[in-house]
Structure 1
Amino acid sequence: MELPVNPPVEPMLAKSVPDIPVGEGMTYEPKWDGFRCIVFRDGDEVELASRGGKTLTRYFPEVVEQARAQLPARCAVDAELILIRRDGDGRPRLDFELLSQRIHPAASRVRMLAETTPADLVAFDLLAIGDEALVDRPYTQRRARLAEALRGVEPPVHVTPTTADLATARRWFEIFEGAGLDGIIAKPADIAYEPGKRLMFKVKHARTADVVVAGFRWHKSGPVVGSLLLGLYDDSGTLHHVGVSASFTMARRRELLDELAPYRKGVTGHPWRHGDHELGQRIPGGPSRWTGTKTLEWEPLRPELVVEVAYDAMEGDRFRHTARFARWRPDRDPRSCGYDQLERPVRFDVDQVLAGDPDPTG
């Protein structure tokens, strides 16, 4: 592969900010919830490079085919791999969990998943085209070249919609979550493409919930708390594992062990020790393709302790990312910690987002 910009290239990143930033020439676009991917194409040779330099090429053969069919013959395109769930019981929406299942070691399963759950490619920046490198050009010029180069693409290849109107960006932030999107990206007009630098801005949804602490895992470094295992009750009174809270200093991990000590005593009939995946209960444990041989053993606690956590989004019936510890809630009855307290976004059609027709009434 001989391009003006060759792999490996670390993607340019975004800095988290609490509110949508305002600035002259600022451009706003949806924040896609998928796998960041720089697509390098040199004729028939295609490389899908993930953030961190790992290759995604073997896992997404259908995207490689689309890159050969629809991208310029020689280019480097910054994009997102997404998976749109179309299960017939509602509007199409992004599904990160299904996308995660695409990373599989078996070639036969990779081929099967490429047919049954194909990914889409959403392009949002152009690093090189032909023999020309564009990384030193201002973002507005790169965006214009991207729109020109990909003018004729058709699904499953897309060019992300953008707006320079702040009111529109705020509206997108409110309604696009219902299609499974992650927030808003803001890009200053004059920024060059600097790999690994946080020169863009991202705004994500932030919420809080009161959850039951029903167990914990040990930290890999020794006898201190590694993560808290969090639960919520459904309408039938079943406690489901919904995620973890894990970002603590070492001093705080030691303190947590003392704070949890009373709840380690007298644990009988724990709802997760006798839970059943087959009956639809989400319980902790079991290695995955992400954890490999890492132990996921956990210590049960009497489910009597409530904590308030901050979270950004749900993935089905669990927290999409690690929840952030806010404070203990000794005033809350654990049985009152149910799914009904969670804010559910209005369902929205991701196809409308990709088509640049963000009308929630359509």
Structure 2
Amino acid sequence: MTGNSKADQPYRIGRYWLKTKIYTASDAVAGAVIGPRSRPRQLVLGLYDSTGRLRVAGRTGPLASAQATAIAPFLHAPTGGHPWPEEVTPRWFGQFARDTEPVHLTLVEPVAVEVSADAARTGIAFRHLVRFIRPRPDTDPTGLRAG
């Protein structure tokens, strides 16, 4: 390589790369939880596709006690059929999942939530765990569409 390419520059002591991630607040649908509805450990998130089907988009990291307390009053058993099964493989949450055991989901009536997510996505899915910010009971979850 020639020119000003970074690849042809020698390594210099004291030089470093800084990796940054851009986080944005966005709305998603909590369609299930990991753990009981009264004290969820994680939220399983989705978005509706163009056909109106709720698709899995990712999950939150572990919820702090205050976060679990804030969302629990909005987590109700589904009133009708639910598009997700009660047990899934870890690959449901992305191709880089390290877990090997099936994940049990506690299905909930879809509720809108605000999350903070890395801007990186694979299709509609969040590429990394997201952070739960707050419930959004004022928002119709069926209006939260992918893309």
TM-score, scaled relative to structure 1? 0.33
Tell me by how many angstroms 1:311 deviates.
1.2
Give the match for residue 285 of structure 1. Answer: 88
Identify unmatched segments of 5+ residues in structure 1: 1-28, 30-121, 127-136, 141-186, 188-199, 274-282, 341-362
| Structure richer in helix, relative to its length | 1
Identify unmatched segments of 5+ residues in structure 2: 1-5, 92-96
- Using the alignment, how far apart are the partners of 2:138 and 2:63 within structure 1? 23
Using a 3 Å threshold, how does the CA distance of structure 1 residues 203 and 333 change in structure 2: closer, same or farther? Answer: same
Q: Within the alignment, does 1:259 sit opposite 2:73 as a pair? A: yes
Aligned residue for 2:103, secondary structure, equals coil
Aligned residue for 2:28, secondary structure, equals strand
Report if aligned partners of 1:225, 1:256 keep a CA contact under 8 Å in 2: no
* Bigger RCO (CA 8 Å, 6+ sep): 2
Tell me by how many angstroms 1:256 deviates.
4.7
Give the match for residue 113 of structure 2. Answer: 307
Aligned pairs for 1:108-119 within 5 A: none
Give the match for residue 3 of structure 2. Answer: none
Aligned pairs for 1:158-307 within 5 A: 187=16, 201-218=18-35, 224-253=39-68, 255-256=69-70, 258-261=72-75, 263-264=76-77, 266-273=78-85, 285-288=88-91, 290-293=98-101, 295-303=102-110, 305-307=111-113
Using a 3 Å threshold, how does the CA distance of structure 1 residues 205 and 267 change in structure 2: closer, same or farther? Answer: same
- Structure exhibiting the larger radius of gyration computed from Cα positions: 1
Aligned residue for 1:248, secondary structure, equals coil
- Using the alignment, how far apart are the partners of 1:298 and 1:249 within structure 2? 19
Give the match for residue 138 of structure 1. Answer: 13
TM-score, scaled relative to structure 2? 0.74
In structure 2, what residue type is equivalent to 1:317? Answer: I
